[in-house]
Structure 1
Amino acid sequence: MSVHDDISAVQRCLDDLNRSVSRLEHQLGGALEIRRVRLDADHLRESVALLREAAAGPAAPRRPDLVTISDAPYDISLWTDSDDEGLGARDRRAP
């Protein structure tokens, strides 16, 4: 039996458990004991979901989209406000 089949079998058993717990809740009301059983069953369901994700294996790493950068020179007008960006003015020296 494969891991996927085993996890599916556990999931079916948990579904049966949840149905049984629901019937007990209906018969016994909201007693502390049945609430604890409900919480434990919910935790089991979450744990099996995590186990299913782990068994699926890691997702293939996604390659980032490549950006082509042209070799053509930049337009000089892009740098006219460079004094405001902390690069200094062309005709002055740093102190």
Structure 2
Amino acid sequence: MSVHDELASVQRSLDDLIRSVGRLEKQLGSGGLEMRRVRSDTNHLRESVALLRETATAGTTAPKRPDLVTISDTPYDPSLWVDSDDEGLGAHDRRAP
């Protein structure tokens, strides 16, 4: 089965669960702690399946490539490095250890 088919099956099962919880809630009432927890868990499961569905559909599309940056082949202006030291060698007027 494909991911789409599996998600559709999960959604059908979840819809059945939501209907069953609704019927149970009518019989037992919605005020008890246990029923509120079951209703809350069902809602969390619904949200989780929706997130999973979004993730699965986003994963089937081609990933977005980063924007390309063109780097020129022309040399940099040497004046950019006039006041800098050679890394690891110290200043120009001193000897390296």
Could you state the TM-score of these two structures normalised by the residue count of structure 2? 0.60
Give runs of aligned pairs for residues 57-76 of structure 1, distance below 5 A.
58=59, 59-76=61-78
How many angstroms apart in 1 are the aligned matches of 2:30 and 2:41? 17
How many angstroms apart in 1 are the aligned matches of 2:9 and 2:69? 42
How many angstroms apart in 2 are the aligned matches of 1:18 and 1:85? 71
Instruction: Determine helix, strand or coil for the equivalent of 1:82.
Output: coil
Q: How many residues align?
A: 92
Give runs of aligned pairs for residues 1-95 of structure 1, distance below 5 A.
3=5, 6=8, 10=12, 13=15, 17=19, 20=22, 24=25, 28-56=29-57, 58=59, 59-83=61-85, 88-95=90-97
Q: Single out whichever of 28-37 and 85-94 deviates more from structure 2.
A: 85-94
| Cα-Cα RMSD | 4.0
Which stretches of structure 1, 4 residues or longer, exceed 6 Å deviation after superposition? Answer: none
How many angstroms apart in 1 are the aligned matches of 2:20 and 2:54? 21
34 and 19 in structure 1: CA distance in 2 versus 1, 3 angstrom threshold:
closer
Could you state the TM-score of these two structures normalised by the residue count of structure 1? 0.60
1:9, distance to aligned residue in structure 2 (A) = 5.6
Report which structure shows greater RCO (CA 8 Å, sep ≥6).
1
Structure 2 unaligned segments of length 5 or more: list them: none
Structure 1 unaligned segments of length 5 or more: list them: none
